[in-house]
Amino acid sequence: MRLIILGGPGSGKGTQSQKLGEHFAIPWISTGDVLRAEIAADTQLGQEVAESLAKGELVSDNLMINFIKERLQQPDATNGWVLDGYPRTAFQAEELDFFLESFNTQVNYAVWLEVPAHSLIERSEYRAEIDDNPEALRRRIETLAETTIPMLEYYEYRQRLLRIDGNQPPDDVKRDILARLR
């Protein structure tokens, strides 16, 4: 199973990605966790990422594409994976598909966790991540709308998009996702 979990900040991407990774016994790959670790370690990558996140911007396509290509070639990802936080743009989605095609495989589904903007803001008040200050959060939600719609259309056109009500208890979200996977 090769899944992408999409949604706004605080939509439950991490929770669902972890649950699905455990369910299918495949790695949960959280780009946010990796990038936050780079920031904490104060690496060159971490400094670049911190600067982007402080402005509420996405990390550059090239940086993310190269990171994902390298990660998906690791031995633990051979039988599938759950991506949390990637892709974030239609360009990244296309690049991921081109990369996977070179291995004669593809994304099974992109799961969009639909959560209203006001709920994203409320949920984020309970989180303590470096990129969740109110101004950056508003900008991330705006950026999400600008960049995500074309990506959702990309997966919808390929009949690989599952829209799931993410504004319900986590176990109900997981149940709804599993019921829709074939």
**Of 88, 119, 109, 104, nearest to 164 (Cα)?**
109
Q: Are 31 and 84 in contact (CB under 8 A)?
A: yes
Which tens digit of pLDDT belongs to each residue from 4-15? 999 988 899 999
Sign of the Cα pseudo-torsion (74, 105, 21, 167, in order): positive
Please enumerate in sequence order all residues whose Cβ is within 8 A of that of 35, keeping only pairs 6 or more positions apart, or say none: 45, 46, 49, 53, 59
Predicted local confidence at residue 105, as pLDDT? 94
Predicted local confidence at residue 70, as pLDDT? 82
55 CA to centre of own chain: 19
Cα gap 139→76, rounded to integer Å: 35
- Mean pLDDT lowest among 109-113, 128-132, 175-179: 128-132
**Of 108, 131, 178, 155, nearest to 8 (Cα)?**
131
Which tens digit of pLDDT belongs to each residue from 24-73? 999 999 988 878 888 899 988 788 888 887 877 777 888 888 888 888 99
Residue type, 60: S
Which two structure tokens, joined as six digits, stand for 137? 């959060």
Neighbouring C-beta atoms of residue 89, cutoff 10 Å: 20
Judged against a pLDDT cut of 70, whether residue 132 lies above it is answered with: no
Q: What predicted TM-score, i.e. pTM, was given to this entire model?
A: 0.82
Which two structure tokens, joined as six digits, stand for 142? 């705006």
Which tens digit of pLDDT belongs to each residue from 88-129? 888 999 999 999 999 999 999 999 999 987 788 777 766 655
**Main-chain phi, psi angles of 20, to 5 degrees:** -70, -35
Largest distance between two CA atoms of the chain: 42
Domains of the chain: 2-180 (3.40.50.300)
Judged against a pLDDT cut of 70, whether residue 133 lies above it is answered with: no
**Of 115, 110, 159, nearest to 10 (Cα)?**
115
